[in-house]
Amino acid sequence: MALTKQATDIVSPAEEHLNDVDRGHPARLPIASLILGGLSCIGMLASIWLIFFYTPIDALQGVTQRIFYFHVPTAWTGMLGFVVMTVAGVVYLIKPDERLDWIARASGEVGAVFLTFLLITGSLWGKPIWGAWWVWDPKLTAALILWFMFIGYLMLRSYMGRTPESARVGAVWSIVGVIDVPIIYFSVLWWRGQHPGPQITSDGGLPPAAVLTLMVSLATFTLLYCFLMVLVYQLQRLQTQAQRLRAIVE
Amino acid sequence: MAWHGHVCLACTCHLQFYLDLRVDNISAVAPGVLWIAFIFASLLGLGRTLAAEREQHSMDRLLLCPVDRKAIYLAKLLGNLLFIGVVEIVALPIYALLFNVPLPAALLLIVLLGTLGIATIGTLFSVMAAATRARELLLPILVFPLIVPVVISVVRATQQLMAPTVNEPPWIGLLIAFDVIFLSISMLTFQYVVEE
C-alpha cells in the first residue's frame, strides 16, 4: 500500500481517475458492463434461435446462407470500431487525455477481432458459394486492407509502448487509414470494373423474417461490441496503472 | 545510391525467373515488374535515410530550428523523392532494354506521380517507424496497405501506355487526387508525429 500511496502523492489531479483501483473501487462502470453483458447474452441467444430456427432456408444457397446473419453484423462492428478509434484519436490530438487513448486502443483491439471474424466467415461462405476461399473483389480487398490497418495499429502501439508519442502516432495512423480505405475501395472497383465479379448478397429481396433476424443480429453484435469495449477499456486503464507502478518500483 | 540502383536491377532480372516473362505476355506483366522493383528500392531507401539520420541525431537538431514542421516534412519528402528519382532514372533505361519496351514521355509523368504518392506515405511512416523498436522492419508493413491505390493506378496507367484500351477509368486523375490528399494529410499530421 505504501508504494501506491507514493503513486497517489506524485500524480496530478487529472490522473486521479487512475487511482480508483487503490481506493477500493474495483472497476468503474460495473453496472454498465453487467447490463451490457446481460443484454448481449440475451440478444445472442435470441439471434441464434432466430438464425437457425426462425428464418427460412435460402432457396439458392441453402443452409450456407445463414452465415450472412453473422457476417454482416461483424462488418458493421468492425467498421464502427475503426471509426470510434479514429474519432478518439482526433480528439486526443486536439486535447490530449489518456482516457481517449484507452478508448482508441480498446476499439483497435475489439475491432481487429471482429474484422478477423469477418474475413473468416466470409471465406467459409465463399468456398461453397463461389468455389473460392478468396476473390479480389473491391469489398473483400478493402476489408482485407482495413484488417491490415487494424493489425498495423496494434503493432505500432505495441512497439511504441504507452507514451503520449505512441498515442499521437496511433491517432495519425487511424486518420490516414480512415481516408485511405474508401479510396482503396474505389480504386479496386475501377480496376475490376470491366470484369463483374461475384456480388455479396444485398438486402433487396430478403423476406421480412430474414430482415428481422438481420436487424436483431446487428443490434446484438453492437451490444457485444459495447460490452467488450467497456471491458478492454478497463484493461487498458489497469495496464497503464500497472506500468506506472512498475516504473516507481524500478 | 548505386547500391539501390543495383537492387532495382537485380529485382527486375530476378522477377523474370519468377514470372516466366516472354514476348507475348510482356505488356501484361512488365508494368508490374517495373513497379515491384521501384517500390522495393523505395522502401529500402526510406529505411536507409532514416537510419543515417538516427545515427547522427539530426532530427533533434532539425526540431530545434524555429521552422514550421510542415517545412521539415516537405524537405524530407524532397530528399526522399530525389533519392528514389535517381534510382528510377537509372532503372528505367535498363528496364526498357531488358524487356524491349518503349519509354514514352508520358511514362515519366506517371512515374513521377507514382513516386510522389509512395514517397509521401513513406516519409510520414518512416518517421513513425523510426521511433519504434522494430524500425525498418515495420516500414513495409505500414506502407504496403496504404499505397494500394497508387500501385493499382500506376500499373494500370503504364499498361494503358503500352497497350491502350477503351473505357479505362482516369487512372492519372486518381493518382493526382491521391497525391494531393495524402500530401495534405501528411503535412498537417507530421507535427504530431515528431513532437516530443
Contact B138 A156 (CB under 8 A): yes
Query: Mutation test of the interface with chain B: which of A137, A159, A178, choosing the one with the most B Cβ atoms within 10 A?
Result: A159
The Cα–Cα gap between A74 and A68 comes to 10
Task: Please check the confidence at residue A132 and state whether its pLDDT lies above 70.
Answer: yes
What is the value of ipTM here, to two decimals? 0.84
pLDDT score of A17: 53
**Chain A residue with Cα closest to B177:** A183
3-state secondary structure chain A: CHHHHHHHHHCCHHHHHHHHHCCCCCCCCHHHHHHHHHHHHHHHHHHHHHHHHHCCCECCCEHHHHHHHHHHHHHHHHHHHHHHHHHHHHHHHHCCCHHHHHHHHHHHHHHHHHHHHHHHHHHHHHHHHHCCCCCCCHHHHHHHHHHHHHHHHHHHHHHHCCCHHHHHHHHHHHHHHHHHHHHHHHHHHHHHCCCCCCCCCCCCCCCHHHHHHHHHHHHHHHHHHHHHHHHHHHHHHHHHHHHHHHHHHC
Q: What is the DSSP string of B121-185?
A: HHHHHHHHHHTSSSGGGHHHHHHHHHTHHHHHHHHHHHHHHHS--SS---HHHHHHHHHHHHHHH
Q: How confident is the model at residue A3 (pLDDT cuts 50, 70, 90)?
A: very low
Contact B192 A168 (CB under 8 A): yes
The Cα–Cα gap between A24 and A20 comes to 7
Look at residues A148, A150, A143 and name the one whose alpha carbon lies nearest to residue A122.
Answer: A143
Full residue range of the structural domain in which residue B175 is found? 2-194
Asked if the structure places residue A71 within a domain, the reply is yes
Beta bridge partners of A59: none
**Model confidence pLDDT, tens digit, residues B15-59:** 767 666 666 677 778 888 888 888 888 888 887 777 776 666 777
Nearest to A165 among B131, B174, B178 (CB): B131
Give the count of domains, chain B: 1
Query: Which chain A residues touch B149 with a CB distance below 8 Å?
Result: 180, 183-184, 186-187
Shortest alpha-carbon distance between residue A211 and chain B (Å) = 34
Q: Is the alpha carbon torsion for B164, B166, B167, B173 positive or negative?
A: positive
Look at residues A136, A130, A118 and name the one whose alpha carbon lies nearest to residue A61.
Answer: A130
Asked if the structure places residue A170 within a domain, the reply is yes
Asked if the structure places residue A17 within a domain, the reply is no
Task: Please check the confidence at residue A235 and state whether its pLDDT lies above 50.
Answer: yes
Asked if the structure places residue A38 within a domain, the reply is yes
Across all residues in chain B, what is the average pLDDT? 83
As given in the structure block, the three cell numbers for residue A166 are: 505512441
Q: How confident is the model at residue A221 (pLDDT cuts 50, 70, 90)?
A: very high
The Cα–Cα gap between A200 and A138 comes to 11
CB–CB of B154/B114 below 8 Å? yes
Give the count of domains, chain A: 1
Task: Please check the confidence at residue A20 and state whether its pLDDT lies above 60.
Answer: no
Q: How confident is the model at residue A180 (pLDDT cuts 50, 70, 90)?
A: confident
Query: Which chain B residues touch A172 with a CB distance below 8 Å?
Result: 124, 128, 189, 192-193
The Cα–Cα gap between B60 and B48 comes to 18
Full residue range of the structural domain in which residue A55 is found? 30-199+209-249
Across all residues in chain A, what is the average pLDDT? 84
Asked if the structure places residue A7 within a domain, the reply is no
Percent of chain B topping pLDDT 70:
88
- Would you call B109 exposed, middle or buried from its count of C-beta atoms within 10 A (0-12, 13-18, 19+)? middle
Query: Which chain B residues touch A188 with a CB distance below 8 Å?
Result: 148, 152
Interface of B with A (CB under 8 A): 121, 124, 128, 131-134, 138, 141-142, 144-146, 148-149, 152-153, 156, 167, 169, 171, 174, 178, 181-182, 185, 189, 192-193, 195-196
pLDDT score of A202: 53
Asked if the structure places residue A23 within a domain, the reply is no
CB–CB of B137/B50 below 8 Å? no
Interface of A with B (CB under 8 A): 93, 141, 145, 148-149, 152, 155-156, 159-160, 165, 168-169, 171-173, 175-177, 179-180, 183-184, 186-188, 190-191, 193-194
Measured at the CA of A153, the angle between CA A151 and CA A157, to 5 degrees, comes to: 120
CB–CB of B86/B121 below 8 Å? no
Nearest to B152 among A159, A173, A187 (CB): A187
The Cα–Cα gap between B191 and B189 comes to 5
The Cα–Cα gap between B154 and B111 comes to 7
